[in-house]
Amino acid sequence: MNNTDIRSLYGLKYNPFLPDVPSQALFTIPGSEPFILRMASMADQGGFALITGEPGLGKSKTLQKIAHRLEQIPDLTVGVMQRPQSKLADFYREMGQLFHVDLTPANRYGGFKTLRERWKAHCQSTLLRPVLLIDEAQQVSTDCLTELRLLQSHHFDSQSLLFTILCGDNRLPDRFRTAELLPLGSRIGPRLILSPLMPEQLSAYLNFALEQAGNSQLMSEELKNTLAAHAANNLRVLNQMAAELLVAAAQRNLPRMDESLFFELFSPASTKSHRKQRL
């Protein structure tokens, strides 16, 4: 049964447990709202901000939520890096594409000057700094991070020509304590460190996700509590289990998901049987 059939069967606007949830329907991770509001206010200052945490806690979705809010600000340019693992030449190619500058990687000094001139013009015309969002920032090389720091620093580091939000796992703070990246680490302003979520917070997430998707009664309260208790305090694990439950419920044509379906799918005996079927 495909995703369209599942949505039609349960009257869902979208599948709330898959990654492609609409930006306007994203859950706000507890404790992240002040940071998200701060990001919008920093568009006129520039600098660096950082989101970190273990895998599966909602870092990328928080960055997506920030991107959605920033994109509502008139005249603000927001660029999202797609290839954080690039070497320096490809880094310049992508920066040129994001900020609509024709760059020649062979002429790095020319690219450096041209990008800065574009950002200066944006700052003067809008009184806002262009924004660069980098997800999976732990993959960005030390050379590229250093280049980025130098690129956006202006007038003896008294001004910033860009506002960069770095988002990555717990390797990032350790890297910013090394000698090579300490100059950048010392310049990072607001920081959001995501922590594992408590079961009650995960239950609140399920309530929010189902309501936004259009069927708040799709799961029993007992199932929500059971899922939250078995998700290892991790949003990604929770969504993966819930998505599997939804497919199973649709295949059985169940009107609602309950706790019995969870134990049927995820009890040790059924899990072992499921693995044998795959083999």
Give percent above pLDDT 70 in the chain: 96
pLDDT in tens, 104-116: 777 888 889 999 9
Mean of the per-residue pLDDT values of the chain: 93
102 pLDDT more than 90: no
What's the rounded mean pLDDT across residues 166-181? 96
The pLDDT assigned to 51 comes to: 98
pLDDT in tens, 210-257: 999 999 999 999 999 999 999 999 999 999 999 999 999 999 999 999
The pLDDT assigned to 276 comes to: 47
The pLDDT assigned to 269 comes to: 63
Alpha helices in 158-234 (DSSP H): 171-175, 182-185, 199-213, 221-229
What's the rounded mean pLDDT across residues 45-61? 97
How many Å apart are CA 56 and CA 133, to the nearest integer?
Answer: 19
279 pLDDT more than 50: no
The pLDDT assigned to 273 comes to: 52
How many Å apart are CA 188 and CA 176, to the nearest integer?
Answer: 9
The pLDDT assigned to 267 comes to: 83
What's the rounded mean pLDDT across residues 187-204? 97
The pLDDT assigned to 275 comes to: 46
The pLDDT assigned to 278 comes to: 45
271 pLDDT more than 60: no
The pLDDT assigned to 107 comes to: 83
Give percent above pLDDT 90 in the chain: 89
Say what the alpha-carbon torsion angle 154, 159, 164, 167 is, to the nearest 10 degrees.
Answer: 110
- The model carries a pTM of 0.92
pLDDT in tens, 131-159: 999 999 999 999 999 999 999 999 999 99
63 pLDDT more than 60: yes
How many Å apart are CA 199 and CA 159, to the nearest integer?
Answer: 44
Domains of the chain: 31-193 (3.40.50.300), 198-278 (1.10.8)
